[in-house]
Structure 1
Amino acid sequence: MKTDRRTFVKQLGVVTASTAAVPHFNIIKSLNDNKIRIATIGMGIQGFADTRAALRTEMCELVAVADLYDGRLAHAKEVFGNQIATTRDYREILERKDVDAVLIVTPDHWHDRISIAALKKGKHVYCEKPMVQHIEEGAAVIATAKATGKVMQIGSQRISGAAFKEAKRLVEAGDIGMINFIESTNDRFNSIGAWQYSIPTDASLKTIDWETFLGHAPKRAFDPVRFFRWRNYRDYGTGVAGDLFIHLITGVHFVTGALGPHRIFSSGQLSYWKDGRDVPDVMIATMEYPAMGKFDPFQMVLRVNFANAGSIKNVTRIVGNEGEITFSGESLTLTKRKLAAAPGYGGGDSFNTFTNAQQQEYQAAYEAKYPIESRTPEPVKEIKFEAPKDDDAHKNHFATFFEGILHNSPIVEDPLFGFRAAAPVLACNKSYFEKKVVNWDPKNLKLT
């Protein structure tokens, strides 16, 4: 049953008021041999990727996995060894005493339910993005994490890369001045990027637990396309916004410290992948961020295009009044472009329409009013940053999660941060499908 809006807002009032008052997580008891014992729930593409990244930290060991398709369970044993336990029922994972933390890598419509159940069973939680499928689900997850004292990290791992950390340092140092505009793209053009995932030949009601997959989604007859390509459907996923906008917004919030936009509008269409999906393959969102702390208001534009047949240049640009930061993946460029303090004249200015006598008179008055140092812009400076070759953002993200479990150290993307990134994403979908501007209170976490 979904939480009604009045109850949701009331929950958030309690959560946001109390979160600042006490530490978000409690220190846990020492674990045997200092290895964190993990289990992964959902062994699709991202499930295998997350599990491998977690194991690369050498801070954990894999105990068990759960998935609703038998073939993935068999493959997990091939990859990680016959010693791991496998099950279709995630609840069996949560009952295990030898599991300290779970990785929740299921379709989006299961994120909140399994997260809450796992936290209540005393498990630490790493949940893939977006944290929830619907805005009204966020309060309960945040409240449960706080009440149980367990560590929870949301899985938008890019922010744990060196380039994002360097961008954050530059912004905080004031190297681009006051931010006024941000744009970020994440286009794809190949079949995998359009979620046309392969469907195994043995997919059937015998090899797949279809009823559990549906969960609280509308009941329908077995359809392997919906099971293996769930991102294409609103019943189970969150579209391009939940898959890709979430990374862009998470990165911007990490770099700038922003809490979120207060006005969101999105538009788009289904341009190419007309395969029965009910989400767009092209989406653009415009967001207005309010003034916060030392930052002025700024605008942000996000774009995803799955029908792009041209070149793909996925970059984020953070523009300020003294320069800009452009970064993508493992590299970053800082361009310092500080303008002159005084306004100029000439060029496209009306100065050129004056008579010669008027021009001379204006120039003399201008030079008397503005000293030469205020009329000269600083030379353009360009500084490039390359992440170390061994930088592994995915591994780093898990290392932060595990350090939080072992030493109660700060989490990069806790539930409050995760929801502040997820809510604008979900508002993009609300704006797109309802064809309206969505107003959001990023401080108190509520629709207005």
Structure 2
Amino acid sequence: MSSRRGFLGTVMAGAALAGGASAAVGAAGKGRIIGANDRIRFGLIGAGSRGKEILKPAVDSPNVECVALADVYSGRFPDAQKIAPGAKTYQDYRKLLEDPSIDAVLIATPQHLHARHFVDAIAAGKDVYQEKTMAFDADHARRMRNALDGSGRVVQVGLQWNSSGGVQKVREHVKSGELGTISMLETHHFRQTPYGGWTREIPTGFDRSQVDWEAFQGDAKRVPFDADRYFNWRFYWDYSGGNVFENMVHIAAFWFASLDLSIPQSVTSLGGNYQSPKMSPPDAFTVTMKHPENLLFSFTSMFNNGFYGEGRNTLFGSKGTLVHTLADNMTVVPAKGKLDETALAGKVHNPTDVHMRNFFDCVRTRSEPTSPFELGFRTAVACRMAVEAYRRGTTVHWDPATETII
């Protein structure tokens, strides 16, 4: 691979670990050697809605066992234990990582905590399934890379749509030359659901003492306890990148892998919060990324109209146009041709189960998973650039020499 392809070799020596892993965690070693027929023991860090969603296909994977659950909110344990009966529970995730019998962890915590949990898990010798968006910002991404470098750990990023088989199909179309020279990609994520479907009600009988508020805040600014900030963390910039981090990252990962795209040179983002007053991130916006591969990549999102659905993408070439949907159906029409919508009909299947099995297979074989760390790095930086462009109200640029957004 090019500059990004050898990117693990660009790690700066002596970088410090994020989050201050405890001595006990750091001393946990490099993990046991797992045989082809050995049962993989894993733990889950973050037992909220997404955590339970990935826990289900994980426990259904062959020859694996969930033995521990960690979450700063103890009220989540009963529901999670229905999926993984008998699993031990911890409010302090570091206690989970201290167990030398645990081979791997799934991390599904809020986005601002990913680096802290990832770095400590790698230091503890665990393989990691890391939910998207992999890193909250470029600094977190570098810390995570520095921790991973030389560790020998297997990392699968939760960009599950790359396990659908569509990446290879797009590659074949592009390689055949039927699209000609490609210069533009338009993608969409339209959802007719207030607040994107993210609103969480404070549970009946909720008790403040059930949450380790200090641990939840992680590296974010310190504020007094606020139940809404905890349960609706996606509404706050301190913990979330909005729909850029929730869904644009999936579309970016699919096309970054399909077209072998680098981190964009520059990113512009415009939009607003027009119908979601409780939320800081925008509910309608457009991101435009200029890539060094001579490609203009746009992403448009809104929460109050479902016209395009959650994954209608169009790749424009000088000879032909490729249209792709979330159902992983695609068709190519001549550059001046018209689209036959029937060619795109199909049922959407979320491939999280396939993605999870790929992770556990790679834990056994020590192979590179479908969505490796470097793809997570590129897409996390691109998504952070989109957030920064929106919040600053200007075009931002990537400086590859310093690996910073300017």
TM-score of the superposition, structure 2-length normalised?
A: 0.86
Q: Letter of the aligned partner of 2:237 in structure 1?
A: R
2:58 pairs, out of 40, 47, 54, with 54
Q: Which residue in 2 is equivalent to 1:122?
A: 125
Contact 1:183 1:318 in 2 (8 A): yes
Match of 2:307 among 297, 308, 311: 311
1:30-62: CA deviation from partner (whole Å, max 9, x where unpaired): 248422111110011110111112223324211
Q: Aligned pair in 2 of structure 1 residues 198, 237: CA closer, same or farther (>3 Å)?
A: same
The alignment status of 1:196 with 2:217, answered yes or no, reads: no
Using a 3 Å threshold, how does the CA distance of structure 1 residues 265 and 201 change in structure 2: closer, same or farther?
same
| Paired letter, 1:332 | N
Higher alpha-carbon Rg: 1
How far apart, CA to CA, are the structure 1 residues paired with 2:123 and 2:392? 35
Which residue number in structure 2 is paired with residue 104 of structure 1?
107
Find the counterpart in structure 2 of residue 421 from structure 1.
379
Look up the match of 2:16: none
Q: Is the 8 A contact 1:59 1:402 kept in 2?
A: no
Aligned to 1:209: 212
User: How far did 1:336 drift?
Assistant: 3.4
> What CA distance in whole angstroms lies between the structure 1 residues aligned with 2:405 and 2:369?
26
Give me the whole-angstrom Cα distance separating, in 2, the residues matched to 1:133 and 1:29: 31
Structure 1: stretches of 5+ with no match in the other structure:
1-12, 20-25, 292-296, 340-377
Alpha-carbon distance in 2 for matches of 1:73, 1:209? 14
Deviates more, 1:308-317 or 1:246-255: 308-317
Query: What's the offset of the Cα at 1:165?
Result: 3.5
Offset at 1:171?
Answer: 2.3
Distance 1:323 1:89, change over 3 A: same
C-alpha offsets along residues 141-191 of structure 1, whole Å, 9 cap, x if unaligned?
112112211011111111111334322332233332221110111122223
**Other-structure match for 1:17:** 10
The share of aligned pairs that are identical, in percent, is 27
Q: CA deviation at 1:381?
A: 9.5
- The DSSP-based 3-state class of the residue aligned with 2:290 is strand
Corresponding residue number in structure 1 for 2:20: none
Label 1:59 to 1:383 Cα distance change in 2 as closer, same or farther (>3 A). farther
Aligned to 2:271: 268
What are the superposed Cα offsets for residues 274-327 of structure 1, whole Å, 9 maximum, x if unpaired? 02x322111211111123xxxxx1111101112x24534231111111212212
| Partner-residue secondary structure (3-state), 2:274 | coil
CA-based RMSD: 2.9
**How do residues 288-327 of structure 1 correspond to structure 2 at under 5 angstroms?**
288-291=290-293, 297-306=294-303, 308-309=304-305, 311-314=307-310, 315-327=312-324
* Match in the other structure for 1:35: 39
The TM-score normalised by the length of structure 1 is: 0.79
Counterpart selection for 1:438 from 379, 387, 396: 396
Deviation readout 1:43-83 (Å, 9 max, x if unpaired):
111101111122233242111111122221011122321x1
Number of the residue aligned with 1:131:
134
Structure 1 residues 68-83: aligned runs within 5 Å: 68-81=72-85, 83=86
Q: Please tell me whether the aligned partners of residues 133 and 249 of structure 2 are also in contact (alpha carbons under 8 angstroms).
A: yes
SS, match of residue 147 in structure 1: coil
Q: Where does residue 255 of structure 1 map in the other structure? A: 258
Cα distance in 2 for partners of 1:379, 1:205 equals 58
What amino acid maps onto 2:309 in structure 1? K
- For residue 268 of structure 1, give the secondary structure of its aligned residue in structure 2: strand
Shift of 1:136: 1.5
* Pairing 1:152-191 to 2, within 5 Å after superposition: 152-191=155-194
Return the alpha-carbon distance in structure 2 between the equivalents of residues 49 and 300 of structure 1.
30
Aligned counterparts of 1:141 and 1:279: Cα–Cα separation in 2: 25
Q: In structure 2, do the counterparts of structure 1 residues 380 and 309 end up closer, same or farther at CA, with 3 Å as the change threshold? A: closer
The CA distance in 2 between the partners of 1:155 and 1:443, in whole Å, is: 28
Match of 1:354 in 2: none
- Residue-pair matches, total: 384
Deviation at 1:100, TM superposition (A): 0.5
Q: Distance in 2 between matches of 1:112 and 1:15?
A: 17
